[in-house]
Structures are given as structure tokens and as C-alpha cells.
Amino acid sequence: MSPFHALLALHNLAALVWVGGMFFAWMILRPAAVSALQPPERLRLWFDVFPRFFLWVWAAVLILPISGVGMLHMGFGGFAQMPFHVQLMIGLYLVMLSLFLRVQLLLLPPLRRAVEAGDWPAGGAALGDIRRMVGANLLVGVVLVFVAVARPSF
């Protein structure tokens, strides 16, 4: 295996964990939690799920640009000759990073406070904000993977 393809495999695994994790949370766990759990248990579940998942997202946040820039230098002659689909990839990565940081730094603390205080209506509102942000990030992630693999040129 060439070093380029080793980096590409790592890069793809990181993308899979991040985008696939959001897909599972949004499309599978969210409706299952709504149908199976009452609000207090549901909020406690998400309060436990987010930090576990976000640890892996942080790993992806670091691995994607490091492996991506490595591939740019190994396979494309550096930033100066960066193909258009990689330019788009970097732009959309920055959008995904901003949305993730918003959830981690601004939306998770109110959920933590609400769960610790047993304030379920406030917890429900905080969870709704996180749900919308993760849904938006999932959409951006799907578009990004499409761009990365289909390599559109405009």
C-alpha cells in the first residue's frame, strides 16, 4: 500500500465515523428514543451519548485535515495545484467544524445544566437546538462526501 493510499484510508475512516455517526444519531437513535423513552430518560440518554460520540468527532476533526493536507502534498503538488473538489472539501469542512463547535461549546452546556437541575422543559429545548444543528451538519457532510467522491467541476 502506498503512503498516499494509507492516508486516504485513514481520511475515509474519519469521514465515515463523523458523517455515519450523525446519520445513526439522527435517523435511527433519535426516533427510537422518542418512541421508547419518557423525556427524563431520553434527555439522560442523549446527555450520555453526546460526550462519547464527540470524542470520536474530535479525532475526525484532527485526522481529516492532517491526512488531507498530507495527501495534497503527496499526490497533488501542494496547495498551489489543489483541485477544485478539494477546495470545496476544505470549505465544507470549515462549515462542519463551525457547526460542531457550536454544539460542543454553546449548546451542550445548557443541556448539561438542565439535566443536572432536572429541568426537563429546558432540557427539551436545548436538545431541540442540538438536533437542528446536527441535522444541518449531517446535510453538509453528505454533500461533502458527494463532492469528494463525485469530484464535480463547474
* Contacting residues toward ligand HEM, per CB under 6 A: 8, 11-12, 15, 18-19, 64-65, 68-69, 71-72, 86, 89-90, 93, 96, 141, 144-145, 148-149
- Measured from the CB atom, the residue of 99 and 111 that comes closer to ligand HEM is 99
Within 10 angstroms of residue 35's Cβ, the number of other Cβ atoms is: 6
The span from the CA of 138 to the CA of 26, in Å, is 8
Q: Is the CB of 5 or the CB of 44 nearer to ligand HEM? A: 5
Nearer to ligand HEM, 72 or 107 (CB): 72
Least Å distance, CB 134 to ligand HEM, is 14
Burial class (CB in 10 A: 0-12, 13-18, 19+), 21: buried
Tell me how far CA of residue 24 lies from CA of 28, 121, 135, in angstroms. Answer: 5, 25, 11
Q: How far is the CB of 56 from ligand HEM (least distance, A)?
A: 13
User: 71 with 139: CB under 8 angstroms?
Assistant: no
Residue 18 has which C-alpha cell? 463523523
CB of 63 to ligand HEM, least distance (A): 9
Of 89 and 127, the one with the shorter C-beta distance to ligand HEM is 89
Residue whose cell numbers read 497533488: 76
Of all residues in this chain, which one has the CB nearest to ligand HEM in the complex? Answer: 68
At its nearest, how many Å lie between ligand HEM and the CB of residue 26? 15
Cell representation of residue 119:
429541568
What's the grid cell of residue 42? 431520553
- State the nearest-atom distance from the C-beta of 55 to ligand HEM, in Å: 17
Nearer to ligand HEM, 55 or 149 (CB): 149
